[in-house]
């Protein structure tokens, strides 16, 4: 019997569903920013909190992931493909950082910073939603490897 624990895995359709909702929220943020940077800061601030939940608690407890699990997943066929949770949590952390920078930018009157940070987050969310390419998940092995590398003096 193996004592190593394999990482928790989730249905790949869940993170893609989450990415579609995130894409919509980020598009709304960019549209609203043209009229009210303060309102854009509020919307993006709420998305920042959603990213924080996903980064800390994982995809099953992510607010949009809960919607997927309760409403969407029961209407789908059986799970055919799964992916590990740690890269997904890391991707949510990356989204959190960009959304936080964007929120601060909009809130402090640095509209260009807010727009650029939101656009980067939107690009990543859309790639995952439309094509199943998770940029944060792609970066995760590199970051994990760097964390395990011994410090050189």
Instruction: Reply yes or no on whether the pLDDT at 73 is more than 90.
Output: no
For position 95, what pLDDT does the model report?
97
Average pLDDT over residues 127-141: 92
Mean pLDDT score across all residues of the chain:
91
Average pLDDT over residues 64-93: 90
Contact 65, 139 (CB under 8 A): no
For position 150, what pLDDT does the model report?
63
Distance CA 145, CA 153 (A): 18
pLDDT tens-digit map of 15-30: 999 999 999 999 999 9
What percent of the chain has a predicted confidence (pLDDT) above 90?
68
Average pLDDT over residues 79-87: 89
Distance CA 32, CA 29 (A): 5
Domain boundaries, the chain: 9-148
Distance CA 42, CA 25 (A): 11
For position 1, what pLDDT does the model report?
47
Average pLDDT over residues 92-115: 97
For position 2, what pLDDT does the model report?
46
Largest CA distance in the chain: 61
Lowest mean pLDDT across 5-19, 37-51, 59-73, 88-102: 5-19
């Amino acid at each position: 019997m193996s004592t190593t624990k394999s990482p928790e895995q989730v249905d790949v359709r869940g993170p893609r569903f989450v990415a579609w909702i995130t894409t919509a929220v980020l598009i709304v943020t960019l549209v609203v920013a043209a009229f009210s940077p303060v309102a854009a800061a509020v919307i993006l601030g709420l998305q920042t909190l959603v990213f924080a939940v996903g980064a800390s608690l994982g995809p099953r407890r992510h607010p949009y992931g809960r919607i997927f699990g309760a409403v969407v997943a029961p209407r789908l066929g059986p799970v055919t493909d799964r992916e590990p949770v740690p890269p997904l949590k890391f991707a949510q952390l990356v989204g959190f950082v960009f959304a936080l920078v964007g929120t601060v930018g909009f809130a402090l009157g640095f509209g260009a910073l807010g727009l650029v940070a939101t656009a980067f987050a939107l690009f990543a969310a859309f790639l995952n939603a439309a094509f199943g390419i998770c940029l944060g998940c792609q970066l995760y092995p590199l970051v994990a490897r760097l964390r395990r590398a011994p410090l050189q003096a």
